[in-house]
Amino acid sequence: MIRLKDGESMFGIINKMEVEDCFVVEIKNTGTANFYLDPKDENLNVDLYIYRYENENSLLGKSRNDEGKHELITLDVKEGDIYSIKVKHCGRFCKRAEYEIKVKSYEQYKDEDIIENDDYDFKKGSRSREIIPRYINKEGHRSAENYRKIIEEFDVKNSNRYKKVRVGNSYKTYCNIFMWDVSIAMDAEIPHRVDGSEINANTIYQIFLNKLPQKMRKAIEGRAEKNEMARLQDKKGQYEEGKHGFESWGWGGEESAYHYYFVTPRDAQKLANDGYIVVAMWKNLASSSGHVAMVVPQESRNKCEITSYNEMLHDMKIAQAGGDNYEYTDFINGFYSHGKYLDVLFFAHK
């Protein structure tokens, strides 16, 4: 068993089909600890397992991502705790390859604090690789200030990770990647892959919609189809607002996917103002390219209740990647064209 020091990295080597490396680490701080494993080859698939020291029946955490993706486990720890760590090679990749393993503990943080992670990595290469945020906001420590800090850390206006890319005569945009990154940092991940495949904004919308009660889902789908027909015929006056925009479903209403709840525009902005992560989702029925954005806290001088679609367009605030990238802008700049704002759904996490 290899001794690993809290706060220091170590590199291991994979050079055969089946291998299991074992480490032991003693924790230096009472609070939380990140157990981090990063394969240095995109084809290497290694999994991470954490146990109480010398007790293989005491599995505390495991992370089993796809090949080339890092593994990260966060545990509550105490100074002097000792843990056993296993790194297991589980793929067919068998040439010599390196991985990095690191454990770092952090002192117990206070209410309203954000965890700062020295091991952050924004993965400036492939957009399909998961980031490790610099700042993490856990459940039970939500506030507008913390939510803003999470949004700001990704620098969505300038980061190459979110810039649109020309593909032929059109552009590929990355609203789903920005949402994925923010949700990770808010400890409320909406995955970028489902069953091994990357998912776009339309698929994300459908996953959340499918988790709602059938009657509600059918009403939402029916309204969206009528509005799409009006768009195709350019009959702007025939959009159907329907009852699902401002009817008071309320916080703690219908649960959807990944522990998010379906909420109204009014509640969406209220919850964002209190520091809860809120995602706005729109499905494009005419193509595979929908849109998602983060509802963000209103600045104090602009704070107001959202009680109509007009107020939603101009007073609700969002951050987004897409055709244009914004850290703080009016809802209208993300969802206005051809009345699509009427069919946006909002989902909030605790």
Each residue's pLDDT tens digit, 330-339: 999 999 776 7
Q: Which CATH architecture has domain 1-108?
A: Sandwich (2.60)
Query: In this model, does residue 250 exceed pLDDT 50?
Result: no
pLDDT digits (tens, 9 = 90+) for 195-236: 778 899 999 999 999 999 888 888 888 888 888 887 777 655
| Tens digits of residue pLDDT in 112-133 | 568 887 767 765 556 777 888 8
Q: DSSP string covering 181-243, please?
A: HHHHHTT----SEETTEE--HHHHHHHHHHTS-HHHHHHHHHHHHHHHHHHHTT-GGG----S
Q: Where are the domains of the chain?
A: 1-108, 178-349
0.85 cut: is pTM over it? Answer: no
Give the tokens for residue 48: 């991470």
d(CA 107, CA 90) in angstroms, rounded, equals: 34
How many residues would you count in the chain? 350
Between CA 36 and CA 83 the distance in angstroms is: 14
Q: Which of left, alpha, beta for 250 (phi over 0: left; psi -120 to 50: alpha)? A: left
Residue 273 has pLDDT above 80, yes or no: yes
